[in-house]
Amino acid sequence: MSAPQTTTDAEVGALGTDGPPPRRGLRAADASHARDYSPGFFVKLALMAVVDALGVYVVWSAWTAGSYGILAATLAMLVVANWVYFSKRALPLKYILPGLLFLLVYQIFVVGYTGYVAFTNYGTGHNSTKEQAVSALLIQNERRVEGSPSSTLTVVEDGDALGFAVVTEDGDVEAGTADRPLAVVDGATVTDGRAVEIPGFTVLPRDQVLQRQAEVTELRVPVSDDPEDGSIRTTDARTGYVYTSALEWDAAADTMTDTTTGTVYTPNDEGQFEAPDGSTLAVGWRVPVGFDNFVTAFSDARYAQPFVKILVWTFVFAVGSVVTTFLLGLFLAIVFNDTRMRGRKVYRTLMILPYAIPGFLAALLWSGLLNTRFGFVNEVILGGAHIPWLTDPWLAKLSVLGVNLWLGFPYMFLICTGALQSLPGDVMEAAKIDGAGRWRTWRAITLPLLLIATAPLLISSFAFNFNNFTLIYMLTGGGPRFADASVPLGHTDILISMVYSISGVDGSAQKDFGLASALSIVIFVIVGTISAIAFRSTRKFEEIS
């Protein structure tokens, strides 16, 4: 993206209006770049020009697309950015503003929006606004009158009221508007079965019709004075059909009325139209429901027992993955750190291989390798044994941990190798002189020093594995299913895949984004709490160094 010349011109001009002209003369000792014309200022000016140009482009796009939220946010960020970088004060902000803005957009906003959705009933049947639900219900409940003919139709205008002119089966032309039922018009010209000239009406040209599409599709021209006879409508401005409405919307009273039965539906707190007998119309809308989603998450009896099992397994899986990968990685790192070993570079390169294969692929590959009857593991390595690696509850758990070990040990191997190589040699030597044996040295010096470097990474690895959706989804899909539960959850499901299944995002139930968001927040709280505690407790390692 090149910044055209006009940009800088505009920005320079803009500066001229924004503040007093820069002071000339002696530069004060504490003058900032905002106040003088050093080369640094021009670099900054160019960079800010690009940022502003981008920002203005986003604002403009948001304006044309009607996304006013994005527009306001971008505008606010632009104003703040310009103030920070062109003002004398706010020195610390000059350094942390980009990070802060990205944090706001990518973290705070996402968490905030999830929090908002958690308190609504957004999901199947509550997808949008009330206004849209009403219009959807109305169009869904219009019925073509059985046996009514389809007639060629012309869109016409009577003064400024739109109307339709149709050619009847007898060859007569009838015309009318929303307020004037269809009536035969004498002296109309019909060409190719279509009315092209109607006395008293002007035929609307095609481009005008397309300009006013919404009006044309919403127009209903009554067939006669009796509303029971229905009205003509069109969807393509070429053919007209006679329809009757089964539902009527009374905007003033805020009710829907079923014209065939006379039932009156009123909006309820759930975001649906409800009849006195409790039956509801299909299409609803999004409403805030307070803590309902959280109550549902913890009170549905069908989920209580699986939830506990899944929670326990999630911890076992996350902790187990971290511990096994760390131990294996550390062991290998120590082995390959020994200078007496030959060809260490080759081995080290080979070690990285599992890490270089994308997790998605690896999990899929392993699910094929572990197939009970045809998998490579059973068929080739174990000589045709039928071991149900992924379909037996305990073996499936073991397989998940095993595959995650295979995927994760190279990472640990890398960070442990790095940490080992940065250990101070003099401390080791001192230990040797003090007469400490190998084991003692390792336990009292190497491991604590290693943990200082790796503890934050272990915590982040725990947080990652706690939500390692990819592996579970690709390898077992959460299976094998709990035989004693009445919900579609399985023995290797972790919390995040449980949320995925409950919320119906996988298509196994009706979608409920509100519930999914509520559960996500619960997971967020769990992971956040554990990470905070863990970070706090790692401080005790600091005392060693």
Partner 1 sequence: MRRSILLAAALTTTLALAACSSGGSGDETTDEPSAEDTSAAGSLTVWVDETRQDAVTAAAESFETETGTSVEVVLKNFEDIRADFLAQVPTGEGPDITVGAHDWLGELTTNGVVAPLELGDKAAEFEDVSIEAFTQDGQVYGLPYAIENIALIRNTLLAETAPATWDEAVAAGQAAGTQFPILVQSDGDKGDPYTHYPFQTSFGAPVFTQNEDGSYSSELAMGGPEGQAFAQWLGAQGAAGVLSQDTTYDIAVEAFKNGQSPFIVGGPWMIDSFEGMDLSIDPIPTAGGQPAQPFVGVQGFYLSAESKNAIVANDFLVNFLSTEEAQLALYQAGNRPPALTSAADAASAGDPIVAGFRAVGAEAVPMPSIPEMASVWSFWGVTEAAIVSGADPVPTWDKMIADIQGAMGS
Residue ranges in 304-343 that form contacts with partner 1 under rule CB under 8 A = none
Q: Which of 12, 34, 15 lies closest to 23, judged by CA?
A: 34
CB closer to partner 1, 190 vs 246: 246
CA distances from 175 to 154, 205, 236, 239, 537 (A): 9, 16, 18, 14, 83
Are the beta carbons of 516 and 439 closer than 8 angstroms?
Answer: no
List Cβ neighbours of 359 (8 Å cut-off, separation of 6 or more): 407, 470, 471, 474
Q: Interface with partner 1 includes 381 (CB under 8 A)?
A: no
**Contacting range for partner 1; rule: CB under 8 A; set: 193-201, 250-258, 483-491, 521-529:** 483-491
Are the beta carbons of 223 and 231 closer than 8 angstroms?
Answer: yes
Q: What are phi and psi of 262, to 5 degrees?
A: 85, 5
Taking the C-alpha atoms of residue 509 and residue 528, their distance in angstroms, rounded to an integer, is 29
Q: Which of 409, 351, 399 lies closest to 378, judged by CA?
A: 399
- Is 455 buried (19+), middle (13-18) or exposed (0-12) by CB count in 10 A? middle
CB closer to partner 1, 300 vs 429: 300
Rounded (10°) angle between helices 513-537 and 495-502:
170
Q: Interface with partner 1 includes 238 (CB under 8 A)?
A: yes
Q: Interface with partner 1 includes 216 (CB under 8 A)?
A: yes
Work out which of 168, 202, 217, 529 binds partner 1, going by CB under 8 A. 217
Q: Interface with partner 1 includes 210 (CB under 8 A)?
A: yes
Work out which of 24, 92, 374, 433 binds partner 1, going by CB under 8 A. 374
User: 3-class DSSP state for residue 265?
Assistant: strand
Taking the C-alpha atoms of residue 45 and residue 33, their distance in angstroms, rounded to an integer, is 10
Q: Interface with partner 1 includes 189 (CB under 8 A)?
A: no
Work out which of 207, 228, 426, 543 binds partner 1, going by CB under 8 A. 207
Angle in degrees, CA 241, 242, 248, rounded to 5: 125
Positions 96 through 135 that interact with partner 1 (CB under 8 A): 124-125, 127-129, 132-133, 135
Q: Which of 102, 107, 9 lies closest to 49, judged by CA?
A: 9
Q: Interface with partner 1 includes 459 (CB under 8 A)?
A: no
CB closer to partner 1, 154 vs 446: 154
Least separation in angstroms between CB 208 and partner 1: 9
For partner 1, what does the binding mask look like between residues 49 and 88, x meaning CB under 8 A? ----xx-xx--xx--xxx----------------------
CB closer to partner 1, 239 vs 422: 239
Q: Interface with partner 1 includes 357 (CB under 8 A)?
A: no
- Contacts of 56-59 with C-beta under 8 Å, sequence gap 24+, read none
Least separation in angstroms between CB 58 and partner 1: 10
**Contacting range for partner 1; rule: CB under 8 A; set: 238-246, 249-257, 312-320, 409-417:** 238-246
Taking the C-alpha atoms of residue 91 and residue 84, their distance in angstroms, rounded to an integer, is 8
Amino acid in the structure at residue 329 = G
Least separation in angstroms between CB 141 and partner 1: 8
Taking the C-alpha atoms of residue 161 and residue 204, their distance in angstroms, rounded to an integer, is 11
> Other CB atoms closer than 10 Å to residue 470's CB: what's the count?
16
Q: Interface with partner 1 includes 369 (CB under 8 A)?
A: no
Q: Interface with partner 1 includes 38 (CB under 8 A)?
A: no
CB closer to partner 1, 263 vs 538: 263
Least separation in angstroms between CB 365 and partner 1: 12
Structure tokens at 124: 């199947």
Q: What are phi and psi of 109, to 5 degrees?
A: -65, -45
Work out which of 27, 89, 144, 540 binds partner 1, going by CB under 8 A. 144
**Contacting range for partner 1; rule: CB under 8 A; set: 231-239, 287-295, 310-318, 516-524:** 231-239
Least separation in angstroms between CB 34 and partner 1: 21
Are the beta carbons of 49 and 7 closer than 8 angstroms?
Answer: yes
Q: What are phi and psi of 404, to 5 degrees?
A: -70, -30
Q: Interface with partner 1 includes 2 (CB under 8 A)?
A: yes
Positions 388 through 407 that interact with partner 1 (CB under 8 A): 390-391
**Contacting range for partner 1; rule: CB under 8 A; set: 26-34, 72-80, 193-201, 211-219:** 211-219
Q: Tell me, by CB under 8 A, how many residues bind partner 1.
A: 81
**Contacting range for partner 1; rule: CB under 8 A; set: 10-18, 82-90, 423-431, 521-529:** 10-18
Taking the C-alpha atoms of residue 390 and residue 400, their distance in angstroms, rounded to an integer, is 8
Q: Interface with partner 1 includes 18 (CB under 8 A)?
A: no
CB closer to partner 1, 61 vs 107: 61
